Protein backbone atom coordinates (compact mmCIF):
# COMPACT_ATOMS: atom_id res chain seq x y z
CA UNK A 1 0.00 0.00 0.00
CA UNK A 2 1.22 3.51 -0.82
CA UNK A 3 2.97 5.16 2.11
CA UNK A 4 3.13 1.98 4.18
CA UNK A 5 6.68 1.29 5.40
CA UNK A 6 7.41 -2.26 6.55
CA UNK A 7 10.83 -2.47 8.24
CA UNK A 8 12.41 -5.87 7.63
CA UNK A 9 12.41 -8.07 10.73
CA UNK A 10 10.56 -5.49 12.82
CA UNK A 11 9.51 -6.43 16.32
CA UNK A 12 8.23 -3.94 18.87
CA UNK A 13 10.55 -3.42 21.82
CA UNK A 14 7.47 -3.12 24.05
CA UNK A 15 4.46 -5.35 24.67
CA UNK A 16 0.96 -3.92 24.30
CA UNK A 17 0.67 -3.26 28.05
CA UNK A 18 4.15 -1.78 28.22
CA UNK A 19 3.27 0.42 25.24
CA UNK A 20 0.27 1.87 27.02
CA UNK A 21 2.36 2.65 30.11
CA UNK A 22 5.13 4.13 27.98
CA UNK A 23 2.67 6.39 26.12
CA UNK A 24 1.64 7.91 29.44
CA UNK A 25 5.25 8.36 30.57
CA UNK A 26 6.09 10.05 27.26
CA UNK A 27 3.14 12.43 27.35
CA UNK A 28 3.50 13.29 31.03
CA UNK A 29 7.23 13.92 30.75
CA UNK A 30 7.15 16.01 27.59
CA UNK A 31 4.27 18.22 28.72
CA UNK A 32 6.14 19.19 31.87
CA UNK A 33 9.42 19.76 30.00
CA UNK A 34 7.79 21.82 27.24
CA UNK A 35 5.79 23.99 29.65
CA UNK A 36 8.91 24.72 31.69
CA UNK A 37 11.11 25.43 28.67
CA UNK A 38 8.67 27.90 27.06
CA UNK A 39 6.82 29.24 30.15
CA UNK A 40 3.43 27.85 29.12
CA UNK A 41 0.17 27.30 31.03
CA UNK A 42 -2.05 24.38 30.14
CA UNK A 43 -5.57 25.42 29.09
CA UNK A 44 -8.66 23.76 27.67
CA UNK A 45 -9.47 24.10 23.98
CA UNK A 46 -12.38 23.39 21.61
CA UNK A 47 -13.03 20.28 19.57
CA UNK A 48 -15.64 22.12 17.48
CA UNK A 49 -16.04 25.68 16.17
CA UNK A 50 -18.76 27.36 14.14
CA UNK A 51 -18.58 27.32 10.37
CA UNK A 52 -17.83 30.74 8.93
CA UNK A 53 -16.07 31.99 12.04
CA UNK A 54 -12.69 32.00 10.29
CA UNK A 55 -11.14 30.24 13.30
CA UNK A 56 -10.72 26.75 11.84
CA UNK A 57 -7.40 25.94 10.20
CA UNK A 58 -7.69 25.70 6.42
CA UNK A 59 -4.41 23.71 6.15
CA UNK A 60 -3.63 23.72 2.41
CA UNK A 61 -7.05 25.14 1.54
CA UNK A 62 -8.46 22.02 -0.11
CA UNK A 63 -9.14 19.66 2.80
CA UNK A 64 -12.82 19.02 3.61
CA UNK A 65 -13.81 19.74 7.20
CA UNK A 66 -16.08 17.43 9.21
CA UNK A 67 -19.28 19.40 9.79
CA UNK A 68 -22.77 18.88 11.18
CA UNK A 69 -25.92 20.76 12.20
CA UNK A 70 -27.09 20.99 15.81
CA UNK A 71 -30.35 20.47 17.67
CA UNK A 72 -30.99 23.89 19.23
CA UNK A 73 -28.08 25.98 17.98
CA UNK A 74 -28.29 27.80 14.68
CA UNK A 75 -25.63 27.31 12.04
CA UNK A 76 -23.16 24.53 11.33
CA UNK A 77 -20.42 23.18 13.57
CA UNK A 78 -17.03 22.05 12.31
CA UNK A 79 -14.53 19.70 13.95
CA UNK A 80 -11.24 21.58 14.17
CA UNK A 81 -8.31 20.70 11.89
CA UNK A 82 -5.89 22.53 14.20
CA UNK A 83 -5.99 25.38 16.71
CA UNK A 84 -3.48 27.71 15.05
CA UNK A 85 -5.89 30.66 14.99
CA UNK A 86 -7.90 29.90 18.12
CA UNK A 87 -4.79 29.98 20.34
CA UNK A 88 -3.85 33.49 19.32
CA UNK A 89 -7.32 34.74 20.13
CA UNK A 90 -7.18 32.93 23.49
CA UNK A 91 -3.93 34.68 24.41
CA UNK A 92 -5.66 38.01 23.77
CA UNK A 93 -8.79 37.09 25.73
CA UNK A 94 -6.87 35.76 28.73
CA UNK A 95 -4.49 38.72 28.88
CA UNK A 96 -1.13 37.00 28.38
CA UNK A 97 1.98 39.17 28.17
CA UNK A 98 5.22 38.78 26.11
CA UNK A 99 7.22 35.78 27.31
CA UNK A 100 4.07 33.97 28.52
CA UNK A 101 2.06 31.36 26.67
CA UNK A 102 -0.33 28.44 26.61
CA UNK A 103 -0.49 24.84 25.48
CA UNK A 104 -3.35 22.42 25.10
CA UNK A 105 -4.26 18.90 24.04
CA UNK A 106 -5.69 19.28 20.56
CA UNK A 107 -7.79 16.50 19.02
CA UNK A 108 -8.85 16.87 15.40
CA UNK A 109 -10.31 14.95 12.48
CA UNK A 110 -8.73 15.39 9.07
CA UNK A 111 -10.96 13.34 6.82
CA UNK A 112 -8.83 13.91 3.72
CA UNK A 113 -5.53 12.72 5.23
CA UNK A 114 -4.29 9.56 3.51
CA UNK A 115 -3.84 6.76 6.07
CA UNK A 116 -0.37 5.25 6.01
CA UNK A 117 2.60 4.63 8.31
CA UNK A 118 2.75 8.23 9.52
CA UNK A 119 -0.75 9.59 8.91
CA UNK A 120 -4.17 8.99 10.43
CA UNK A 121 -7.51 10.75 10.00
CA UNK A 122 -7.34 11.32 13.78
CA UNK A 123 -4.79 13.97 14.74
CA UNK A 124 -3.61 14.70 18.28
CA UNK A 125 -1.16 17.48 19.08
CA UNK A 126 0.22 19.59 21.84
CA UNK A 127 -0.76 22.95 20.40
CA UNK A 128 1.17 25.82 21.96
CA UNK A 129 1.34 29.58 21.51
CA UNK A 130 3.37 32.32 23.22
CA UNK A 131 3.17 36.12 23.12
CA UNK A 132 6.22 37.89 21.70
CA UNK A 133 7.31 41.47 20.99
CA UNK A 134 7.95 43.07 17.61
CA UNK A 135 11.69 42.81 18.35
CA UNK A 136 11.31 39.03 18.71
CA UNK A 137 10.17 38.64 15.11
CA UNK A 138 13.55 37.47 13.79
CA UNK A 139 15.34 34.27 12.85
CA UNK A 140 17.61 34.15 15.91
CA UNK A 141 14.66 34.26 18.29
CA UNK A 142 12.97 31.51 16.26
CA UNK A 143 16.10 29.36 16.46
CA UNK A 144 16.34 29.86 20.22
CA UNK A 145 12.77 28.60 20.70
CA UNK A 146 13.47 25.63 18.43
CA UNK A 147 16.52 24.67 20.51
CA UNK A 148 14.42 24.78 23.68
CA UNK A 149 11.77 22.51 22.15
CA UNK A 150 14.36 20.04 20.87
CA UNK A 151 15.96 20.04 24.31
CA UNK A 152 12.61 19.16 25.88
CA UNK A 153 12.08 16.38 23.33
CA UNK A 154 15.56 14.94 23.90
CA UNK A 155 15.13 15.07 27.69
CA UNK A 156 11.86 13.19 27.34
CA UNK A 157 13.44 10.53 25.15
CA UNK A 158 16.15 10.01 27.78
CA UNK A 159 13.50 9.68 30.51
CA UNK A 160 11.47 7.16 28.50
CA UNK A 161 14.59 5.08 27.78
CA UNK A 162 15.41 5.05 31.49
CA UNK A 163 11.89 3.88 32.38
CA UNK A 164 11.88 1.22 29.63
CA UNK A 165 15.43 -0.16 29.13
CA UNK A 166 14.42 -2.15 26.02
CA UNK A 167 14.32 1.23 24.21
CA UNK A 168 17.86 2.05 23.14
CA UNK A 169 17.85 4.78 20.50
CA UNK A 170 18.64 8.39 21.34
CA UNK A 171 17.75 11.79 19.87
CA UNK A 172 20.37 14.19 18.50
CA UNK A 173 20.23 17.42 20.52
CA UNK A 174 22.27 19.58 18.14
CA UNK A 175 19.92 21.24 15.64
CA UNK A 176 20.99 21.90 12.06
CA UNK A 177 19.21 24.94 10.58
CA UNK A 178 18.62 25.28 6.85
CA UNK A 179 16.07 27.04 4.62
CA UNK A 180 14.03 25.32 1.94
CA UNK A 181 15.80 27.39 -0.74
CA UNK A 182 19.24 26.44 0.60
CA UNK A 183 18.18 22.80 0.59
CA UNK A 184 16.95 23.07 -3.00
CA UNK A 185 20.26 24.66 -4.01
CA UNK A 186 22.12 21.72 -2.43
CA UNK A 187 20.02 19.02 -4.13
CA UNK A 188 18.36 20.59 -7.20
CA UNK A 189 17.57 17.27 -8.89
CA UNK A 190 15.76 15.70 -5.92
CA UNK A 191 12.11 16.01 -4.91
CA UNK A 192 11.17 17.88 -1.75
CA UNK A 193 10.85 14.68 0.31
CA UNK A 194 14.08 13.28 -1.12
CA UNK A 195 15.86 16.49 -0.14
CA UNK A 196 14.50 16.19 3.40
CA UNK A 197 15.65 12.59 3.68
CA UNK A 198 19.11 13.48 2.41
CA UNK A 199 19.80 16.28 4.89
CA UNK A 200 18.11 14.67 7.90
CA UNK A 201 19.92 11.36 7.45
CA UNK A 202 23.19 13.29 7.59
CA UNK A 203 22.38 15.78 10.39
CA UNK A 204 19.83 13.70 12.40
CA UNK A 205 17.92 16.71 13.84
CA UNK A 206 17.04 19.50 11.41
CA UNK A 207 14.91 22.63 11.51
CA UNK A 208 13.82 23.24 7.92
CA UNK A 209 12.89 26.91 7.59
CA UNK A 210 10.79 29.13 5.33
CA UNK A 211 7.98 26.82 4.21
CA UNK A 212 5.01 28.03 2.19
CA UNK A 213 6.37 30.45 -0.40
CA UNK A 214 7.44 29.63 -3.96
CA UNK A 215 11.09 28.61 -4.43
CA UNK A 216 13.45 29.37 -7.32
CA UNK A 217 12.23 26.28 -9.20
CA UNK A 218 8.71 27.71 -9.28
CA UNK A 219 7.40 25.22 -6.71
CA UNK A 220 6.61 25.27 -2.99
CA UNK A 221 8.54 22.91 -0.75
CA UNK A 222 5.24 22.23 1.03
CA UNK A 223 1.94 23.99 1.52
CA UNK A 224 1.15 26.29 4.45
CA UNK A 225 -1.98 28.32 5.19
CA UNK A 226 -1.35 32.02 4.49
CA UNK A 227 -2.90 33.38 7.68
CA UNK A 228 -1.01 31.96 10.64
CA UNK A 229 2.72 31.30 10.05
CA UNK A 230 4.92 33.99 8.54
CA UNK A 231 6.43 32.00 5.67
CA UNK A 232 9.79 33.71 6.19
CA UNK A 233 9.89 32.82 9.90
CA UNK A 234 8.54 29.29 10.20
CA UNK A 235 9.68 25.71 9.79
CA UNK A 236 9.47 22.00 10.66
CA UNK A 237 11.44 20.08 13.28
CA UNK A 238 12.64 16.92 11.52
CA UNK A 239 14.50 13.97 13.04
CA UNK A 240 15.97 10.84 11.52
CA UNK A 241 13.75 7.85 12.28
CA UNK A 242 16.05 4.85 12.47
CA UNK A 243 13.19 2.33 12.59
CA UNK A 244 11.67 3.59 9.34
CA UNK A 245 14.85 4.91 7.70
CA UNK A 246 13.42 8.30 6.76
CA UNK A 247 13.08 11.94 7.79
CA UNK A 248 10.35 12.30 10.36
CA UNK A 249 8.42 15.46 11.25
CA UNK A 250 7.72 16.03 14.94
CA UNK A 251 6.58 19.64 14.82
CA UNK A 252 5.43 22.40 12.50
CA UNK A 253 5.82 25.85 14.02
CA UNK A 254 6.74 29.47 13.45
CA UNK A 255 6.46 33.13 14.26
CA UNK A 256 2.93 34.12 13.32
CA UNK A 257 1.94 36.72 10.75
CA UNK A 258 1.81 40.38 11.68
CA UNK A 259 -0.39 42.77 9.74
CA UNK A 260 2.11 43.21 6.91
CA UNK A 261 2.84 39.51 6.46
CA UNK A 262 -0.87 38.64 6.63
CA UNK A 263 -1.81 41.04 3.83
CA UNK A 264 1.11 39.92 1.67
CA UNK A 265 0.45 36.20 2.08
CA UNK A 266 -3.32 36.47 1.63
CA UNK A 267 -2.66 38.27 -1.64
CA UNK A 268 -0.24 35.57 -2.81
CA UNK A 269 -2.78 32.89 -1.91
CA UNK A 270 -5.70 34.77 -3.51
CA UNK A 271 -7.44 34.61 -0.15
CA UNK A 272 -8.02 38.28 0.66
CA UNK A 273 -11.71 37.50 1.20
CA UNK A 274 -10.73 36.16 4.64
CA UNK A 275 -10.15 39.72 5.86
CA UNK A 276 -13.84 39.90 6.78
CA UNK A 277 -13.33 37.48 9.70
CA UNK A 278 -12.74 38.80 13.25
CA UNK A 279 -9.46 36.86 13.55
CA UNK A 280 -8.00 38.45 10.44
CA UNK A 281 -9.31 41.91 11.36
CA UNK A 282 -7.64 41.51 14.76
CA UNK A 283 -4.28 40.94 13.11
CA UNK A 284 -4.73 43.67 10.52
CA UNK A 285 -5.60 46.32 13.11
CA UNK A 286 -2.99 45.03 15.63
CA UNK A 287 -5.60 44.09 18.24
CA UNK A 288 -4.34 40.50 18.56
CA UNK A 289 -0.89 40.05 20.11
CA UNK A 290 2.19 39.08 18.14
CA UNK A 291 2.90 35.40 18.79
CA UNK A 292 5.00 32.36 18.05
CA UNK A 293 3.46 28.91 18.13
CA UNK A 294 3.10 25.47 16.69
CA UNK A 295 1.98 21.92 17.13
CA UNK A 296 3.88 18.87 18.32
CA UNK A 297 2.27 15.63 17.21
CA UNK A 298 1.42 13.51 20.24
CA UNK A 299 1.10 10.19 18.44
CA UNK A 300 4.01 11.11 16.17
CA UNK A 301 6.17 11.82 19.21
CA UNK A 302 5.11 8.64 21.01
CA UNK A 303 5.76 6.58 17.89
CA UNK A 304 9.27 8.04 17.65
CA UNK A 305 10.06 7.81 21.37
CA UNK A 306 8.79 4.22 21.66
CA UNK A 307 10.59 3.14 18.47
CA UNK A 308 7.43 1.97 16.71
CA UNK A 309 6.94 1.26 13.01
CA UNK A 310 3.38 2.58 12.59
CA UNK A 311 1.39 5.41 14.14
CA UNK A 312 -1.42 2.93 14.77
CA UNK A 313 0.78 1.25 17.39
CA UNK A 314 0.33 4.27 19.68
CA UNK A 315 -3.15 5.57 18.82
CA UNK A 316 -6.56 3.98 18.29
CA UNK A 317 -8.03 5.00 14.95
CA UNK A 318 -9.64 3.57 11.82
CA UNK A 319 -7.48 1.86 9.20
CA UNK A 320 -8.09 0.12 5.86
CA UNK A 321 -8.70 -3.60 6.41
CA UNK A 322 -5.89 -4.47 3.99
CA UNK A 323 -3.47 -2.32 5.99
CA UNK A 324 -4.40 -4.07 9.25
CA UNK A 325 -3.77 -7.45 7.60
CA UNK A 326 -0.44 -6.48 6.02
CA UNK A 327 0.82 -4.88 9.23
CA UNK A 328 -0.02 -7.96 11.29
CA UNK A 329 1.82 -10.18 8.82
CA UNK A 330 4.88 -7.96 9.28
CA UNK A 331 4.94 -7.87 13.08
CA UNK A 332 3.10 -4.53 13.44
CA UNK A 333 0.12 -4.76 15.79
CA UNK A 334 -2.27 -1.83 15.41
CA UNK A 335 -4.25 -0.80 18.50
Distance CA 186, CA 198 (A): 10
DSSP 3-state of 79: strand
Distance CA 102, CA 39 (A): 8
Provide the CA 11 distance to its chain's centre, in angstroms: 27
Closest CA to 188 of 218, 217, 222: 217
Q: What is the model's pLDDT at position 181?
A: 97
Q: Catalytic one among 12, 81, 125, 232? A: 125
- Look up 252 and say whether it is catalytic: yes
Q: Catalytic one among 81, 252, 298, 299? A: 252
Alpha helices in the chain (DSSP H): 16-38, 84-94, 139-163, 180-186, 192-203, 259-268, 278-284, 298-305, 321-329
The answer to whether residues 89 and 55 touch, using CB atoms and an 8 Å cutoff, is yes
Q: Catalytic one among 58, 229, 236, 307? A: 236
- Look up 125 and say whether it is catalytic: yes
- Look up 298 and say whether it is catalytic: no
- Look up 249 and say whether it is catalytic: yes
How many beta carbons lie within 10 A of that of residue 262, not counting itself?
Answer: 22
* Phi, psi for residue 332 in degrees, rounded to 5: -105, 115
What secondary structure does DSSP assign to 272-289, as a single string?
Answer: GGGGGSHHHHHHHTT-SP
Distance CA 45, CA 69 (A): 21
Q: Catalytic one among 88, 110, 195, 300? A: 110
Q: What is the model's pLDDT at position 21?
A: 96
The answer to whether residues 100 and 37 touch, using CB atoms and an 8 Å cutoff, is no
Helix/strand/coil percentages in the chain, nearest 5: 35, 20, 40
How many beta carbons lie within 10 A of that of residue 320, not counting itself?
Answer: 12
Distance CA 158, CA 195 (A): 29
> Distances in Å between the alpha carbon of 103 and those of 73, 126, 207?
29, 6, 21
Task: Measure CA of the first residue to CA of the last residue in the chain; give whole Å.
Answer: 19
- Look up 97 and say whether it is catalytic: no
Q: Catalytic one among 12, 33, 57, 124? A: 57
Kindly give the pairing relationship between strand 246-256 and strand 229-241: antiparallel
Per-residue pLDDT of the chain (335 residues; tens, 9 = 90+): 778 999 999 999 999 999 999 999 999 999 999 999 999 999 998 988 888 777 777 666 677 888 899 989 999 988 888 788 889 999 999 999 999 999 999 888 888 888 899 999 999 999 999 999 999 999 999 999 999 999 999 999 999 999 999 999 999 999 999 999 999 999 999 999 999 999 999 999 999 999 999 999 999 999 888 988 999 999 999 999 999 999 999 999 999 999 999 999 999 999 999 898 888 999 999 999 999 999 999 999 999 999 999 999 999 999 999 999 999 999 999 98
Report the predicted TM-score, pTM, of the whole model to 2 decimal places. 0.91
Could you give all domains of the chain from N- to C-terminal order, each with its CATH number? Answer: 16-329 (3.30.930.10)
The DSSP bridge partners found for residue 234 are 254
Q: Catalytic one among 58, 249, 307, 313? A: 249
Amino acid sequence: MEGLILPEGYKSALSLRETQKAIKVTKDTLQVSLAKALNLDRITAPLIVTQGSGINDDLNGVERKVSFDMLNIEGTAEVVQSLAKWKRMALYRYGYEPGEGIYTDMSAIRRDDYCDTLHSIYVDQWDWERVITAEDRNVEFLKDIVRKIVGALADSKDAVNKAFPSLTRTMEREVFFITTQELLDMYPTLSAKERENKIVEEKKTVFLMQIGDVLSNGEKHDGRAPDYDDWSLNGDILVWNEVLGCAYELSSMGIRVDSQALLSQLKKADAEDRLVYPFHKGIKDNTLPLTIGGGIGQSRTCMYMLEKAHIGEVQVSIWPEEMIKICKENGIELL
